[in-house]
Chains A and B, each alone.
Chain A
Amino acid sequence: MVKIPKLVPTSQFQTIYVINGGKDLTKSALVIGGGIAGIQASLDLADRDIHVYLVEKEPTTGGKMARLDKTFPTNDCSACILSPKMADCAGHPNITTMTFSEVVKVDGKEGDFKVTVKKKARYVDPDECTGCGDCIVKCPVKNVPDQFEYGLSTRKAIYIPHAQAVPRVAIIDPDNCRMLTKGKCGICEKTCQKGAINYKDTDKEVVLDVGSIIVSAGFDVWDASIATEYGYGRYANVVTAMEFERMMGASGPTHGHIQMRSSGETPKKIAFVQCCGSRSEKDGWKKYCSSVCCMYAVKQAMIVKEHADIDEQIFFMDIRSFGKEFEDYIHRGERDYNIGMHRSSRVSHIEEDQETKKLLVNYSGPNGDPLTEEFDMVVLSVGLNPPAGVSEMAEVLGIELNEYGYCKTNVLNPLATSRPGVFVSGAFSAPKDIPTTVAESSGASAKAGAHIVDKNFVPAAPKEFPKETDVSGQEPRIGVWVCSCGINISATIDVKSLTEYVSTLPGVVFAKNSMYACAQDTLKEISETIREQNLNRVVVASCTPRTHEPLFRMACREGGLNKYLFNMANIRDQCSWIHMHEPEKATLKAKDLVRMAIAKAALLEPLQESTLPVTNAAAVIGGGITGMTAALDIAAQGFPVHLVEREAQLGGNVLKFRHKEDGIEVQDFLKEMIAKVNANDLITVHLNSEIEDIPGFVGSFKLKLKGKDEIPVGAVILAVGASQYKPTEYNYGKDDKVMTILELEAKIAENGFKGKNVAFIQCVGSRNDKVPYCSRVCCAGALRNAIKIKMADPTANVTVFHKDIRTYAFREELYRKASEVGVIFLRYNETDPLPAYDGKTVKAIDCILGSEVSVPVDTVVLSTGLTPDREEKEAIAQMLKIPISKDGFYFEAHQKLRPVDFATEGVFVAGSAHWPKFMDECMAQGSGTASRALTVISKNALSSEGIVATVNETYCDGCGVCEGCCEYNAIEIVTLENGVSKKSVVNAGLCKGCGSCVAACPSGAMEQKGFKSNQIQAELDAFLDFPVGG
């Protein structure tokens, strides 16, 4: 038992909390890195009632994602989806964020680490600083290159890192501050009304007691100046992708306009040069594939195209769109956006015309010919690097790094480092995209939590808010915030005139335009204005309530206002974005939308939430490697799990794998895992089990298995996997020469393979008209076996027929090795049919030669993809009311930041049921769902929505129409004491708030809180009683 040391509050919210009511806590967890990886890991632990220290070396959280403009493949605004998480993290009572801090020492062992953290001198007291920025205006030191903008703009010597920084407090750069370098100046000290400036500030050390550590230290961008052949740093119009991303950003140095550095003009023609720093053995370059560059280049090209008609061309070797719905995205870029795609075209060097500053891009064409094309601007798709100082960090943490300088992990234990109790998530273990990072971070938090939760574990206390003000009987006093969302809204909608209009509407006593309504400073302003102006309703006109309502509701609660006294007008997603070319009409529409929201807000009433009981157990559907991982991780924190498998044994698809990972036979590993599951008292395995139904809702599901009593569970994890595609091509099943990869692997393992002329055919059952997606795992599977064949028999002829080779991240080593041992790669055109096979030879048109090549074969190996088994998935989907993606996999709540959740609470998805993926990715995701499920089942009760049905007894005559249409049995017709009259009664705990009974009620007695008839009518009237635009 340790006392939490008093730490510097990290946000304005923090000051109002006392962690766990000041009581003793058991151990905390430590998360290193405040990017999206660290944020997710912290939030999951905190939601599981474990206290977290989040240590970030930069002065703000957000990491690299905060620098991105948009994210693929949804083109979501990065800041818009990240900001709520940053704010959640900063406002969470169980998270103590320590920015501008570094871990300098780790003593002890798992379950009991003593970690020394150095809090670097900020020279500004974060307790006192309000982030007003007055000091920044007055600071005389200009022109310091702004690192957040990659030097594309300048900042002062005292600065706030960026508009959405968390915490939003100033910091002095000691290398450029006149007072700190020369002892003369002191202007900021004189300017600051709060006395927050402290030139004598020093680094401080604190020691933290933690049970486990998650390292989410992220990555750095590869230094493009190493690629001297591309002229970065010498040629004005060669930029890196990160610089380009900042230019795209509305809040970036060029306010969203793409400009040539040579002239400030918009380029007419841009080249994107892929694999800059990746997939090469050149000095200083990285051998691995950086995994994300193909997708982000297409994203950048698409977004730029939306704003200006620019000729854009991408030069690449292979396009690596292996993720969920990535292939569609690439096609969309090529087809709908006319982005030029130069396949098999690596850029050798770039020359600059010294007069015009135009750039000559030299590349090898698909058939190997040297070609040249002139461009106005070149974007280098720079790869990922391990973070700066990684060796020192590894030494401090006592963890090993791999040959590429990333954190060393193991395919069979993907979230563990070499030191027990220290886990890893995100790009610190390999280059990867955001959804994979988020799933891993949840997973790492499940692993880390297991070292903290023991019999002495005391959960951290729930968040406390200021007492709610009683607003009953008051006239509406409405405060309205109109968001510009950078320029996402203000580029189309005249926010100034909108704000002015809003201030004239009845009930509105405060109206203001904000750059970002969701930024920390605005949220704080909302809370403060509620008090100062005695607001009793708040309306925010910005994006969608689906993502941002919880955040603003929280700000209302901080201001002492019941969170249901808040309403949102969606003027971005449903106005500025869909009417980009009609700014006047969009502005009029926005006025209508805000007027409607205000009209409804005026009638809103404070609501109270009821609590729902929670069954402290989980169901995991699917006994493969994903499901078993999830089950073990949940059991490790002391909760019972029901693991359901339809087959007679556990193991799933992995039972068919016959290879080694990191020197260990996968089958041996699998046997051990199955034994662990069977030996665990908390895990009940249901084999040969078929699911009849899973009725219920978060906290209270009932798992109904055929022929068994129903089992109550609080959460459900779907790990039902996917199947190998059964080929109908190549006479499979009739021709002995034709086999799948797994069949080949089994033959090799049994020393029964004697093939001399082997052809691998990629994308059988993937990337075609019927199955448009890439199955992600087949390239690596084929190459692994191609190498085995060549190693065993160097005289064997092995040819791989492919469209692209997608050995992403460190799997690129397979590609390199295969080429080295003499595997022949034959690329055929993406739009061509599969290579022809006549029983003796395989034929295809070789892109390099431009003519047909015929390869004699004695073995044809089909790289078959995964099929989603849509029918089976749909059956379960209907039971749980969850969606299926267009490709037939489960469709998660949000492709980027909620990769294992569903919109339906308490249900989660992992493994290849979500999308085809490798074993390590399946296990990491399995752990991720365990963590998400633990945030539900570890609670004694959940609080339900306040939006439920309610009966006005005066009008109700107990007719029972409502009872009949309630899907949740939440309504009961009771006979009153007089024995005659009947009335309807709603069980608020069971009611899900759909409002079906309300529309059905013939007497107007039934109402839906938050969506009352008079509130909906007020919205209607506010639209229809006025001319368009008011």
Chain B
Amino acid sequence: MAEFEPKIVAFCCNWCSYAGADGAGVARMQMPTNFRIIRTMCSARVDPEHVLRAFSKGADGVLVLGCHPADCHYIGGNYRARRRIALLRMVLEQYGFDPKRMKLEWVSASEGEKFQKTVIEFVDTIKALGPNPVCSKEA
């Protein structure tokens, strides 16, 4: 069997983490190809429904990346995202879904390196967890 290649959705806010991802590109920081970025203006735009939809459609992992605390372009959007993701994590857990498949991280516009590190580590985590049990592609 070919090595498991996870499918990962990465929500990035426009001002910090999307810029950080661009910064990783500008600095030619190499990383696995498993993730696809969906740009939102703020991490607070990420509706828990989006995350659930991603998992129900077979995403093996979901990253939500936003500005560092106090750096949010929209004042406090990232705090809201943090609260929502914390609640969502509880919901996932209650349904027996490993909450490690969802990760919230802060990546600033100048942190290409952190973006790279986050992606590499998350891909490793998901590879260790194996395919999404809700919708296993092998099945």
Contacts and interface: CB of A to CB of B under 8 A. Distances in A.
Contacts of A577: 25-26, 28
Contacts of B108: 883
Interface string A990-1011: 0011111011100000001001
B129 interface: no
Contacts of A74: 26-27
A191 interface: no
B110 to A, nearest CB: 6
A939 B116 CA distance: 42
A335 interface: no
Contacts of A403: none
Contacts of B76: 967
Interface string B56-69: 01110000000000
Interface string A899-920: 0000110000000000000000
Contacts of B75: 881, 967-968
B37 A574 contact: yes
A999 B47 contact: yes
Contacts of A965: 44, 80
A546 interface: yes
Interface string A1007-1025: 0100101001101110111
Contact of B45 (A76, A995, A1020, A1023): A995
Task: With a 10 A CB-CB cut-off, give which of B7, B29, B116 has the most chain A CB atoms.
Answer: B7
A580 interface: yes
A760 interface: no
B53 interface: yes
A881 to B, nearest CB: 6
Given A74-B26, A994-B41, A1020-B9, A886 B74 contact: no
B72 interface: yes
A692 B45 CA distance: 30
Contacts of B37: 570, 574
B36 A589 contact: yes
B44 A578 contact: no
Contacts of B40: 995, 1011, 1016
A12 to B, nearest CB: 29
Nearest to B27: A75
A898 interface: no
B39 A573 contact: no
A961 to B, nearest CB: 11
Given A581-B30, A878-B70, A1028-B5, A1020 B41 contact: no
A149 interface: no
A582 B39 contact: no
Most buried by B among A76, A544, A582, A592: A544
A579 interface: yes
Contacts of A1000: 80
B63 to A, nearest CB: 13
A999 B44 contact: yes
A947 interface: yes
B18 interface: yes
Contacts of A870: none
A578 B9 contact: no
A903 B47 contact: no
Nearest to B5: A1028
A903 B73 contact: yes
A572 interface: yes
B80 A996 contact: yes
A447 to B, nearest CB: 32
A572 B25 contact: yes
B107 interface: no
B26 A573 contact: yes
B88 to A, nearest CB: 11
A94 B99 CA distance: 55
B26 A1020 contact: no
Contacts of B117: none
Contact of B33 (A573, A589, A878, A903): A589
Contact of A999 (B22, B48, B70, B116): B48
Interface in A565-601: 570, 572-575, 577-582, 585-586, 588-589, 592-593, 596
A596 B9 CA distance: 12
B31 interface: yes
Contacts of A967: 74-77
B20 to A, nearest CB: 10
A981 interface: no
A592 B84 contact: no
Given A579-B30, A996-B44, A573 B74 contact: no
Given A574-B25, A577-B26, A996 B38 contact: no
B84 A999 contact: yes
A588 B30 CA distance: 16
Interface string B92-117: 00000000000000001110000010
A885 interface: yes
B80 A883 contact: no
Interface string A935-968: 0000000000001000000000000000001011
Contacts of B42: 994-996
A1025 B49 CA distance: 17
Contacts of A596: 36, 38
Contacts of B73: 881, 903-904, 994
Contacts of A585: 33
Given A883-B71, A885-B110, A999-B46, A1020 B38 contact: yes
B45 A998 contact: yes
Contact of A1019 (B28, B38, B110): B38
Given A546-B19, A580-B30, A1013 B25 contact: no
Contacts of A592: 36
B25 A1011 contact: no
A839 interface: no
Nearest to B75: A967
Interface in A286-320: 306
Nearest to A587: B33
Contacts of B110: 883, 885-886, 891
B33 A1021 contact: no
A575 B14 CA distance: 17
8 contacts: A544-B18, A573-B25, A577-B25, A579-B33, A995-B42, A996-B80, A1016-B50, A1021-B57
Given A596-B38, A891-B110, A999-B46, 5 more contacts: A578-B28, A903-B73, A1020-B57, A1024-B59, A1025-B57
